[in-house]
Chains A and B, each alone.
Chain A
Amino acid sequence: MVTGGVTKFAKAHPAMDFRLMVKKAYDAALSEIPNLTKERIDGSRISYFSDHFTRQLKAASMVQDYLGLNPKGSVRIEWGGATGGECFQAAYEAVASGRMDVCLSAGFETMSRVQTWKGNEFIALASDTNYDFPLGGFYTGYYALMVMRHIQEYLRKTRFAHVKDEREAQRLAIAEGSRIMALVSVKNHLNALHNPYAQYPKQLSVDDVLNSEMISYPLTREQICTMSDGAAVAVLCTGERAREFTDTPVEVIGVGTGTDTMRLADRPFGTVPLMPNERASDYANLDYPGVHSFRAGRAAGLEAYKMAGITDPKRELDFIELHDAYASSEIQTYEDLGLCRYGEGYSFTESGAPFLKGMKYPFKTPKAGEIPVNPSGGLIACGHPVGATGLMQGVFAFWQLQGTIATHFQDPTLQIPNAKRGAIHSHAGTGSAVTVSILQRGF
Chain B
Amino acid sequence: MARPKPKVYAKFRDVQEEILRTGAAIFKDGNGVESLIIDSPYSIRYIHSYAEDSAFFLGLAEGKLLGSKCTGCGFVYATPRGHCMECGEPTKWLELPTTGRVHSWTTCQFGSEAFLKETPYNLCLVEFDGAGSLLLARLKDCTQDEIWVGMPVQAKFEPKAKYSITDVWFVPKK
Nearest CB to that of A269 among chain B residues?
B132
Contact across chains for B112 and A138 when beta carbons are under 8 A apart: yes
Nearest CB to that of B42 among chain A residues?
A55
A227, B18: Cα distance in complex, Å: 21
Contact across chains for B105 and A148 when beta carbons are under 8 A apart: yes
- State which residues 120-169 of A face B: CB under 8 Å: 120-121, 123-124, 129-132, 134-138, 140-141, 144-146, 148-149, 152, 156, 166-167
Whether, in the assembled complex, B22 has its beta carbon less than 8 Å from a beta carbon of chain A, the answer is no
Stretch at the interface among B90-98, B143-151, B152-160: B143-151
Residue from B15, B53, B115, B124 within 8 A of A137 (CB atoms)? B115
Nearest CB to that of A124 among chain B residues?
B112
A170, B123: Cα distance in complex, Å: 17
User: Which residues of B are found within 8 Å of A91, using beta-carbon distances?
Assistant: none
User: Which residues of B are found within 8 Å of A360, using beta-carbon distances?
Assistant: none
User: Which residues of B are found within 8 Å of A11, using beta-carbon distances?
Assistant: 12
Whether, in the assembled complex, A291 has its beta carbon less than 8 Å from a beta carbon of chain B, the answer is yes
Stretch at the interface among A209-217, A244-252, A298-306, A385-393: A209-217
Whether, in the assembled complex, A19 has its beta carbon less than 8 Å from a beta carbon of chain B, the answer is no
- State which residues 353-407 of A face B: CB under 8 Å: none
Per-position binary interface string of chain B over residues 121-149, scored 1 when its CB falls under 8 Å from any chain A CB and 0 otherwise: 10111000000111111100000100011
Whether, in the assembled complex, B33 has its beta carbon less than 8 Å from a beta carbon of chain A, the answer is yes
Contact across chains for B113 and A115 when beta carbons are under 8 A apart: yes
Question: A63: shortest Cβ distance to chain B, in Å?
Answer: 19
A152, B107: Cα distance in complex, Å: 16
Given A216-B106, A265-B78, A265-B134, does the pair A137, B149 have CB atoms closer than 8 Å? no
Given A112-B12, A130-B50, A148-B105, does the pair A137, B33 have CB atoms closer than 8 Å? no
Nearest CB to that of B138 among chain A residues?
A135
A149, B40: Cα distance in complex, Å: 41
Residue from A130, A134, A266 within 8 A of B133 (CB atoms)? A266
Whether, in the assembled complex, A263 has its beta carbon less than 8 Å from a beta carbon of chain B, the answer is yes
Given A15-B33, A145-B105, does the pair A136, B149 have CB atoms closer than 8 Å? no
User: Which residues of A are found within 8 Å of B112, using beta-carbon distances?
Assistant: 117-118, 120-121, 123-124, 136-138
Whether, in the assembled complex, A14 has its beta carbon less than 8 Å from a beta carbon of chain B, the answer is yes
Nearest CB to that of A217 among chain B residues?
B107
Interface size on A, residues (CB 8 A): 49
Residue from B79, B118, B166 within 8 A of A263 (CB atoms)? B79
Contact across chains for B109 and A170 when beta carbons are under 8 A apart: no
A117, B113: Cα distance in complex, Å: 5
Given A14-B35, A148-B105, A148-B149, does the pair A121, B79 have CB atoms closer than 8 Å? no
Question: B17: shortest Cβ distance to chain A, in Å?
Answer: 11
Contact across chains for B27 and A14 when beta carbons are under 8 A apart: yes
Given A14-B15, A131-B79, A264-B125, does the pair A170, B149 have CB atoms closer than 8 Å? yes
Nearest CB to that of A138 among chain B residues?
B111
Number of A-B contacts (CB under 8 A): 145
Contact across chains for B113 and A120 when beta carbons are under 8 A apart: yes
User: Which residues of B are found within 8 Å of A203, using beta-carbon distances?
Assistant: none
Whether, in the assembled complex, A351 has its beta carbon less than 8 Å from a beta carbon of chain B, the answer is no
User: Which residues of B are found within 8 Å of A135, using beta-carbon distances?
Assistant: 123, 136-138, 165-166
Whether, in the assembled complex, A261 has its beta carbon less than 8 Å from a beta carbon of chain B, the answer is yes
User: Which residues of B are found within 8 Å of A307, using beta-carbon distances?
Assistant: none
A213, B104: Cα distance in complex, Å: 22
Given A131-B165, A137-B115, A265-B78, does the pair A14, B108 have CB atoms closer than 8 Å? no
Whether, in the assembled complex, B101 has its beta carbon less than 8 Å from a beta carbon of chain A, the answer is no
Contact across chains for B148 and A170 when beta carbons are under 8 A apart: yes
- State which residues 23-44 of B face A: CB under 8 Å: 27, 29, 31, 33, 35, 37, 40, 42
A149, B104: Cα distance in complex, Å: 5
Whether, in the assembled complex, B55 has its beta carbon less than 8 Å from a beta carbon of chain A, the answer is no
Given A131-B165, A145-B123, A265-B125, does the pair A216, B109 have CB atoms closer than 8 Å? yes
Contact across chains for B29 and A121 when beta carbons are under 8 A apart: no
Whether, in the assembled complex, A96 has its beta carbon less than 8 Å from a beta carbon of chain B, the answer is no
A120, B27: Cα distance in complex, Å: 24
Question: A283: shortest Cβ distance to chain B, in Å?
Answer: 19
Question: A19: shortest Cβ distance to chain B, in Å?
Answer: 14
Q: What are 23 sample pairs from A and B whose C-beta atoms fall under 8 A apart?
A: A12-B12, A14-B15, A14-B29, A15-B27, A55-B42, A117-B113, A118-B113, A120-B112, A121-B112, A131-B79, A132-B136, A135-B138, A135-B165, A137-B112, A145-B124, A152-B104, A152-B149, A167-B148, A170-B149, A217-B106, A265-B134, A266-B79, A269-B132
- Interface positions of A (Cβ within 8 A of B): 11-12, 14-15, 55, 112, 115, 117-118, 120-121, 123-124, 129-132, 134-138, 140-141, 144-146, 148-149, 152, 156, 166-167, 170, 213-218, 261, 263-269, 291
If A145-B124, A217-B107, A266-B79 are given as contacts, then 17 extra A-B residue pairs at C-beta distance below 8 Å, sorted by A number, are A14-B12, A14-B15, A14-B37, A15-B29, A117-B116, A120-B111, A131-B165, A134-B165, A135-B137, A136-B111, A136-B112, A145-B123, A152-B149, A216-B106, A261-B85, A266-B77, A266-B133
- Interface positions of B (Cβ within 8 A of A): 12, 15-16, 27, 29, 31, 33, 35, 37, 40, 42, 48, 50, 53, 77-79, 81, 85, 103-116, 118, 121, 123-125, 132-138, 144, 148-150, 164-166
